[in-house]
Amino acid sequence: MNQGKGLGKGKGGGSGNLRQGRNKGGAFGPGGYCVCAKCGEKILHQQGVKCTSIKCPQCGHPMIREELLNKNK
């Protein structure tokens, strides 16, 4: 008997599609632009840096990835 050893089969039927975030868990890649939804300022996206962590250099509003902005229009 193997109680508490974690060797049994799980009964979960998870599909792996839960909690994937705004862009379905996929990255947009290293290229592209960060855009300000408020004033339209556009800057080159830096790999490894989320656009939402960057403040617009013109108005201070958080930036958004260009692909997400265009998807919502």
pTM assigned to the model: 0.58
57 versus 8: which is more confidently predicted?
57
Q: Is residue 48 part of a domain?
A: yes
Q: Is residue 39 part of a domain?
A: yes
Report how many domains make up the chain: 1
Q: Is residue 6 part of a domain?
A: no
Which tens digits make up the pLDDT trace of 4-51?
565 556 565 555 555 445 555 556 777 899 999 999 999 999 999 999
What is the rounded distance in angstroms from the CA atom of residue 20 to the CA atom of residue 30?
19
Average the pLDDT over 60-66 and give the result.
95
Structural domain containing residue 41: 33-71
Q: Is residue 60 part of a domain?
A: yes
Q: Is residue 11 part of a domain?
A: no
Which tens digits make up the pLDDT trace of 47-56?
999 999 999 9
Burial of 25 (0-12, 13-18, 19+ CB in 10 A): exposed
Q: Is residue 3 part of a domain?
A: no
Q: Is residue 53 part of a domain?
A: yes
Q: Is the model's pLDDT at 57 over the cut of 80? A: yes
Q: Is residue 26 part of a domain?
A: no
